Amino acid sequence: MHGVLEVDRERPYHFRYRDGTRYFLMGYEADWLWGADMLDPKRRLMHRLIDQIDARGFNYVLVNVYAYDTRWCPGKVNEWDFGPAPLYVFGGTNEKPDHTVLNTKFFAIYDGMMEALWQKGIIAHIMIKVYNKDVNWPAKGSADEARFFRYVTARYQAYPNIVWDFAKEAYNEKDETLQKNLTDLVRSQDAYRHLTVAHDDDAYEWNKDLNANIDFRVDQQHTDWEQMIAFDRAHRMRPVVNVEFSYELGVEPLPTHTNVNQVDWKEMLRRAWRIQMAGGYLAYYYNNTAWDIVKPDPEPPGHSRWQILKQTMESLPYWRMDPVPSLAAGGTCLAEPAATWICYVEGSNTRRKENTLTLNLTSLSGPAKAEWINTWSGDRATAGEVSNGIKVFQYPEAFDKAPAILLIQRK
């Protein structure tokens, strides 16, 4: 690791580590990672999922401290269902809690997850509370609640790979003063100054009297992806991460919640690229690992395609690039206008004018090379050398229906 994650003060829509090393965030939602086979001393299932996440380039995991069960799949329906968890985070049980006590046995097991993520260099986005998983929490504003927040902060703050989140589904907390006080409590107890956020709380994050303790935007936005990224970037100069925009269907149809945004890997990837081209960051959701059902194998098809996305973006000076829709017709575009363009073009069943991309390259300051990338396979096709001017590029026939990326880089 390179120290604590920070917002880049010089490029405030992006991240870097405290030592200055660049960090391209690509997230993975694994709410129950701590609870997958938590009574197995070797934590084989948990390690399998972490290894899989790491191998595909995901470097940021969203995870709860504790959750009881999902409402769409209550109880244990199969061997891969880890809700309700066998251990409670407090004394007693979720049904009969003793909130004056914190269960150190639970946290000792949680330590193993934190250690495994740290060893891989993966940031743990720790959601201290969750509002829709039937947890019996301490009374709001109580000493027991404050103790819980202090304990979590004290136990894990020495790990460099942490972002604190007040709560998953934080918009359910209607007492914004309480939310502010608890977030401030975490910040005051954290000697290492990790970033703090709130999962999808528009009212809080858009309130200038409250949002000073929120370091970057964490949104769940299932529609209007580009518009909301642009809105949030204009509202505050800070990174914007859409952590929940759709859910990739499981290779195996295991029980899960129903939602109009349950999509196949192709649609999931299409949305991801659109958010990326708008200047946002992303988190991946997979039905069979996101919640209390944790079955990482067979590996979902989206993994390898998201790996292509990350490798492509990290090959560019992405932190110097901004969304510039006025420079492209037929696709979306990020650009450092004198030197680098990356454009996204939808695939199609037809090959008419809609499959061309027209770019304004009049600001290009020297000869450049152009190359297409197939977002499904990673295959590449040269588009030749280009100079400045208005240029029209033809979608490669060999890519068939796959959406494509066009890269233009000054030599």
- DSSP letters spanning 293-329: B----SPPTHHHHHHHHHHHHHTTTGGG-EE-GGGEE
Q: How many CB atoms lie under 10 A from the CB of residue 93?
A: 13
The CA distance from 148 to 173, in Å, is 17
Per-residue pLDDT for the chain (411 aa), expressed as one digit of tens each? 799 999 999 999 999 999 999 999 999 999 999 999 999 999 999 999 999 999 999 999 999 999 999 999 899 999 999 999 999 999 999 999 999 999 999 999 999 999 999 999 999 999 999 999 999 999 999 999 999 999 999 999 999 999 999 999 999 999 999 999 999 999 999 999 999 999 999 999 999 999 999 999 999 999 999 999 999 999 999 999 999 999 999 999 998 888 889 999 999 999 999 999 999 999 999 999 999 999 999 999 999 999 999 999 999 999 999 999 999 999 999 999 999 999 999 876 554 456 899 999 999 999 999 999 999 999 999 999 999 999 999 999 899 889 999 999 999
Query: Domain 5-318 is of which CATH architecture?
Result: Alpha-Beta Barrel (3.20)
Q: How far apart are CA 124 and CA 302, in angstroms?
A: 21
Name the token pair of 93. 């049980």
Contacts of 315 (CB under 8 A, 6+ apart): none
Exposed/middle/buried for residue 59 (C-beta within 10 Å: 0-12, 13-18, 19+):
buried
C-alpha 165/C-alpha 287 separation (Å) is 22
The domain ranges of the chain are 5-318, 321-410
Q: What is the pLDDT of residue 397?
A: 87
Half-sphere exposure of 126 (CA within 13 A, CB side): 26
Closest Cα partner for 67 from 116, 131, 118, 125?
Answer: 131
Residue 340, classed as helix, strand or coil, is: strand
Which helix (H) or strand (E) covers residue 270, if one does? helix 265-277
d(CA 369, CA 386): 6
Read off the pTM.
0.96
Structure token digits, residue 56: 């595909």
pLDDT at 355: 81
What distance in Å separates the CA atoms of residue 225 and residue 232, rounded to the nearest whole number?
11
List Cβ neighbours of 308 (8 Å cut-off, separation of 6 or more): 373, 375, 378
Q: Is 121 left (phi over 0), alpha (psi -120 to 50) or beta?
A: left
- Amino acid at residue number 163: V
What per-residue confidence (pLDDT) applies to 348? Answer: 67
Given this model, what pLDDT does residue 258 score? Answer: 82
Could you tell me the end-to-end alpha-carbon distance of the chain, in angstroms, rounded to an integer?
32
Compute the distance between CA of residue 273 and CA of residue 290 in angstroms, rounded to an integer: 20
Adjacency order of strands within the sheet including 404-410: 322-323, 332-336, 340-345, 404-410, 368-374, 380-386
**The one-letter amino acid at 164:** W
Q: What are phi and psi of 123, to 5 degrees?
A: -70, 135
Residue with tokens 């970037």: 233
**Which two tokens mark 211?**
């949002």
Determine contact, residues 131/168, Cβ cutoff 8 Å. yes
The pLDDT of residue 349 is 57
Burial (CB < 10 A; 0-12, 13-18, 19+), residue 164, is buried
What is the CATH code for 321-410? 2.60.40
Residue 41 vs residues 109, 110, 113: alpha-carbon distances, Å: 9, 12, 12
Read off the tokens for 296.
């990482």
β-partners of residue 369 are 385, 409
